[in-house]
Structure 1
Amino acid sequence: MGSNGINEDLSRQVRVRFLTKLPPPFKVQTSSIAIPANLSRMGLSEIVNLLLKNSNAEFETTPFDFLIDGELIRMPLEQFLLVKSISAEKILEIEYIRAVAPRKHEDPHLHDDWVSSIDGSNPRFVLTGCYDNLARIWKDGSFCTHSLQGHNGAITSVCVINQKGNSSRNDICIATGSKDKTLRLWMFDVAESADNPVRIGAFKILRGHTSSVQSISAIPSGDMVCSGSWDSSIKLWKVVSEGDGDSVSIKRRRLITNVDEPQLEAEATADLVGHTQCVSSIVWLEPQTIYSASWDHSIRIWDVPSEKATSNLVCGKALNCLDVGGEGSALIAAGGSDHVLRVWDPRRPSSSAPIFQFSSHSLWISACKWHPRSIFHLLSASYDGKVMLWDLRTAWPLAKIDAHKDKVLCADWWKDDSVVSGGADSKLFISSGISII
């Protein structure tokens, strides 16, 4: 057995007690046992699986990760204890959790060009934007049911808008941004299905940017969206305005036979000015607060009522992506041109310095997303073709997804236990069976 095995080098031993918050049948007896001190996570996982099989012969082998004092073990146990100045003379309490790694990779869904943007916020479908000027709805992540047609340039950003006033669970509103300098708003019936994708025309076009729209985010209430652009500006837009009437209804949308027919148009209700280069990523997490990242090396936090930036974090590198989540939904993750994924806590007095830095990617980082229900976990995607899963309790990636054969341009969580990603190989990949919670 290898260096991680449990039968090797029994001369150096430590006494441990394995604990877990997992439900049965994942619980072992809490009495202490002696184990080799040179074990790393694979050997520890083998021991826990043997203990579980002793109490339940039908238990299926499961990979585990291990924590001591809240930190994940990513080196041999004796080395970890030495680095952390933890005594090996006492009984060590080691918590085990299910390892975070995909257990299944679905067959990819091929597009006609680069898959540039993705939204996995709705468990019933995956939304993708493509350089062929189309956005697509992939129902259950399995087949394309709707094709959103009308943009005159590559789609660069997509966003599912959760409208709280919408009484129908099937009527979904979507915003898209494009290199044609516009945003478009769409409505579709998620329950609708056909042998071929249903063609949808936008119910509203939002004009005002003077260059490509790069990022879109919706206010939690769903009645407004904001957009960031290569023109360095951030604009705010109403989703539905007085006078729109029934133009946004599903019935009206179904009557559209020519997706190029004139639609409602609207102008921005506000402009947030301050960035000096492309606004590459934007998040509207709270009604009065917008977060933005830019190629001008800065992250800005905006007060919506005053239309002023209240905070400015300088990274030193061009930024491609930003997301807000983690503890208190307050941590800012961002990545860009220097291959490093950084995390800031703006609540700290010295918030200009990142509190975490992850540097396993080898090329530009294109996307980062916090897990919607975990304060520890996030993902990143890169031009190096990899999607990486991270846990704040260790500096090493929990898992690497190597499905793409070219640059990964976008990635998101889907249904809590899956990662969806798209890239320059023109493919949508779904990696599932990820145990986060």
Structure 2
Amino acid sequence: MASSMLSEAQLQVKFITKQEQYAVPDVPFSVPTNIDVKSLNNLINKLLKEHSDFLKRLDFDFLVCGELLRTPLNEHLQERNVSIETTVEIEYLLRTPAPQPEDALLHEDWVSGIHVADKWVLTGCYDSTINLWTVKGNHTVSLKDHTNIVKAVSWVKENDPTGGFVSVSHDLTGILWHWEPGATPEIVSVLRGHERGIDTVGISPDTNRIATGGWDTHLKIWSTLQHDRNELRMEDEPPSKKTKGNSINQTPLHTLTGHKESISKALWLDNENICTVSMDHTIKIWDATLCGLKREMIGQKANLSASWSTLSNSLLVTSADRHIRLYDPRNAEGSVCKVTYTSHKSWVTCVAWSQYDQNLFMSGGHDECVKVWDTRSPNAPLYDLTGHEGKVLCVDWSNPKHLVSGGTDNSVHIFKNVHFNG
């Protein structure tokens, strides 16, 4: 028998959930057409109390027509041209709790690059330094081998700091480092070949190759393999010369040209494909083996950053028009923006997918805001994470337990993801 709630205008809904421990009776319910999330939560909690042993109130989100409900139900349905005369399926799921602020890591200058592996936080700064911290806030290493802004940093192995790391700088070089916790980082090789400042670095999934890009508009591919040193002298450049210690100057394996302005992000989709986003309004997909352009997507604004998810095979791109756009570059219609996420008030400078949930990502912008999003809620983020007092330049969610961000307030903010229990 259908349950009912008194209201002048009613519609029929059916509640479904993939979280079986929170299942309620599989029957239609009559609810007010203008019911909102708060009232739906009250109803689900009442049903759980009646039909199970749940005593503690739980907070749920509700999916209707594939998007999270953020307005009264009738408005949500009207925007999607769904009749209120039909029985509406509402999927409910336990709400992702807000990440909790844990620590702020204070630097001497703007923080422009950040990457987390296990409990280690790697940062790059405008004062030319590279810094190593623990997620507990302990500063362990400071390096100043670059002579200009360190714009980006990356661990070689996503979850293992013992693989070493790479830093790239506006001094036109990148440095491949060897490091193990408790030891002093050592330079393995210096990447030389860019003609202007380097803004971005990405490591291939098999950790064998590096991709860099920057203000000379060139995408360059390098090797991380030390035993390949004698094979790294490519492109008719002079032989490598010894540098500090046992490190050597490394020249690129390949240089790919085609962008007309600075490359703001280079990332590997897999071991064969590299994606670059540029200030020239384009997104390009390159074949890393054949060293040619495979696909180009043309937009209307300068692209500032990007993030690739292997969980959803989706690409997020941020730009100078305050929006974040989602693409599926492997699809035949990959150049078509699938969803646009709008909430930032200024340039969105950085974005990072969650590594454990295909629907979650974080972003940061010149509006001093860090936002946590669900892909199914394009017009409203899940949470605004406060704390920064300057532009946010970099974010990272490589460690599922910690969301991190850095910016022009000379600080890195660490937020604990209380939702993740892995």
TM range (shorter): 0.7 to 0.9
Match of 1:5 in 2: none
Matched, 1:426 2:421: no
Which of 148, 154, 162 pairs up with 1:153?
Answer: 148
CA distance in structure 1 between the partners assigned to 2:328 and 2:124 by the alignment: 31
Which of 274, 280, 283 pairs up with 2:264?
Answer: 280
Match of 1:114 in 2: 110
Give the letter aligned to residue 21 of structure 1: K
- Cα deviation, residue 55, structure 1: 5.7
Check the 8 A contact 2:155/2:161 in 1, yes or no. Answer: no
- Cα deviation, residue 65, structure 1: 1.1
- Which stretch has the larger CA shift, 371-380 or 397-406? 371-380
Distance of aligned partners of 1:388 and 1:434 in 2 relative to their CA distance in 1, 3 Å threshold:
farther
Q: Which runs of structure 1 show a deviation greater than 6 angstroms over 4 or more consecutive aligned residues?
A: none
Match of 2:239 in 1: none
CA distance in structure 1 between the partners assigned to 2:202 and 2:98 by the alignment: 28
Check the 8 A contact 1:106/1:430 in 2, yes or no. Answer: yes
Matched, 1:175 2:166: yes
CA distance in structure 2 between the partners assigned to 1:211 and 1:38 by the alignment: 57
CA distance in structure 2 between the partners assigned to 1:388 and 1:179 by the alignment: 28
Check the 8 A contact 1:99/1:435 in 2, yes or no. Answer: no
Which of 327, 334, 340 pairs up with 1:344?
Answer: 327
Q: How does 1:391-406 map to 2 (within 5 A)?
A: 391-396=374-379, 397-406=381-390
Distance of aligned partners of 1:62 and 1:180 in 2 relative to their CA distance in 1, 3 Å threshold:
farther
Which of 194, 214, 237 pairs up with 1:229?
Answer: 214
Match of 1:248 in 2: none
Q: How does 1:69-148 map to 2 (within 5 A)?
A: 69-120=65-116, 122-148=117-143
Match of 2:16 in 1: 19
Q: How does 1:257-296 map to 2 (within 5 A)?
A: 263-296=247-280
Match of 1:65 in 2: 61
- Cα deviation, residue 58, structure 1: 6.6
Deviations 1:157-206 (A, max 9, x none): 01111299xxxx6623100111111111112223x3xxxxx653423211
Match of 1:309 in 2: 293
Give the letter aligned to residue 77 of structure 2: L
Check the 8 A contact 1:125/1:141 in 2, yes or no. Answer: no
Check the 8 A contact 2:400/2:417 in 1, yes or no. Answer: no
Identity %: 28
Match of 2:240 in 1: none
Distance of aligned partners of 1:433 and 1:370 in 2 relative to their CA distance in 1, 3 Å threshold:
closer
Check the 8 A contact 1:148/1:202 in 2, yes or no. Answer: no
Deviations 1:225-265 (A, max 9, x none): 110011111111111333769xxxxxxxxxxxxx9767322
- Cα deviation, residue 350, structure 1: 4.1
- Which stretch has the larger CA shift, 418-427 or 87-96? 87-96
Check the 8 A contact 2:279/2:303 in 1, yes or no. Answer: yes
CA distance in structure 2 between the partners assigned to 1:287 and 1:208 by the alignment: 22
- Cα deviation, residue 54, structure 1: 5.0
3-state secondary structure, aligned to 2:217: coil
Distance of aligned partners of 1:123 and 1:50 in 2 relative to their CA distance in 1, 3 Å threshold:
farther
3-state secondary structure, aligned to 2:39: helix
Matched, 1:376 2:372: no
3-state secondary structure, aligned to 1:421: strand
Match of 1:355 in 2: 338
CA distance in structure 1 between the partners assigned to 2:354 and 2:106 by the alignment: 26
Distance of aligned partners of 1:275 and 1:86 in 2 relative to their CA distance in 1, 3 Å threshold:
closer
Match of 1:36 in 2: 32
**Structure 1 runs not aligned, ≥5 long:** 1-7, 193-197, 246-258
CA distance in structure 1 between the partners assigned to 2:327 and 2:369 by the alignment: 23
Which of 157, 171, 194 pairs up with 1:162?
Answer: 157
RMSD, aligned CA: 2.9
Match of 1:185 in 2: 176
- Cα deviation, residue 290, structure 1: 0.7
3-state secondary structure, aligned to 1:108: strand
3-state secondary structure, aligned to 1:394: coil
- Which stretch has the larger CA shift, 351-360 or 171-180? 351-360
- Cα deviation, residue 291, structure 1: 0.6
